[in-house]
Amino acid sequence: MVTESAQGPGRDRLAQDFVRFAVESGVLRFGEFKTKAGRMSPYFFNAGLFDDGAKMGRLAQFYAQALVASGIGFDMLFGPAYKGIPLGATVAVELARLGRNVPFAYNRKEAKDHGEGGTLVGAPLKGRVLIIDDVMSAGTAARESIALIRAAGATPHAIAIALDRQEKATENGRDVQHSAVQYVRRELGMQVCAIARLADLLRYLEADGGDPQIHAHHERVLAYRQRYGVDD
């Protein structure tokens, strides 16, 4: 879901195009993969495999188009280390190409004690900050970014991700009845913009259900959603 208010045929087409792009790029794979929560997932989204200029450029286009469609207002971008760094940079470039030039910043995992020093690089954090990341599993990285942005005197306003897994988060090793995205929306009061959701992946697989292998992937992903999924 791009946002709760940005739905419709245009949003659906963008999501389906993105899922197809991710599958064809080898970023979205099917099989058996262990998640951070210890679950065996029938699919895996590895944004690190957007690994050349053409893929990163296309990915940035998807983020920018989803953000424009969402109507979310923001003053700058922040890319959390590590995957958020190239995402923040390339999405800033694409937004500027579309006529929306905004500053961006990112953080280091380790503080420097020379040069500019500290953990923050790029534009000063101020105003309404949009965090750019790949996925949100437990929401830990989001909370860390939020704390960092607030400490700098800025406002963590929204988060943009590539894929919303729409599955239950875990707390203290136990499943809870909300996802990380729902937690960020409801408990932290932030908007979340996702290019695509697990529901979009299921629709993609269903549309190609004539292929026995694709049908098998659909059945496994659907079973996973029925077991661990959340309702939006």
What confidence category does residue 173 fall into, taking pLDDT thresholds of 50, 70 and 90? confident
- pTM score of the predicted model: 0.91
pLDDT of residue 210: 66
Average pLDDT, the chain: 90
Q: Helices (H), strands (E): how many in the chain?
A: 7, 10
Catalytic site residue from 114, 157, 178, 217: 114
Catalytic site residue from 112, 157, 215, 217: 112
Whether the predicted pLDDT of 98 surpasses 90: yes
**Cα–Cα distance measured from residue 16 to residue 217, given in angstroms and rounded to the nearest whole number:** 16
157 is known as an active-site residue: no
Residue owning tokens 């040069």: 115
CATH code for residues 9-18+53-198: 3.40.50.2020
pLDDT of residue 112: 57
Q: What is the pLDDT of residues 105-162, one digit of tens each?
A: 999 877 655 545 578 999 999 999 999 999 987 677 788 999 999 999 999 999 999 9
114 is known as an active-site residue: yes
Q: What is the pLDDT of residues 3-41, one digit of tens each?
A: 443 556 788 999 999 999 999 999 999 999 998 888 999
**Cα–Cα distance measured from residue 72 to residue 62, given in angstroms and rounded to the nearest whole number:** 15
- What residues contact 221, with CB distance under 8 A and at least 6 apart? 30, 42, 43, 198, 201, 202, 205
Count of CB atoms situated within 10 Å of the CB of 33: 14
Write out the H or E segment, with its range, that includes residue 78.
Answer: strand 76-79
* CA quadruple 206, 6, 101, 134: dihedral sign: negative
Closest CA to 60 of 92, 15, 28: 92
Judge whether 177 and 232 are in contact, CB under 8 Å.
Answer: no
**Cα–Cα distance measured from residue 229 to residue 232, given in angstroms and rounded to the nearest whole number:** 10
Whether the predicted pLDDT of 88 surpasses 90: yes
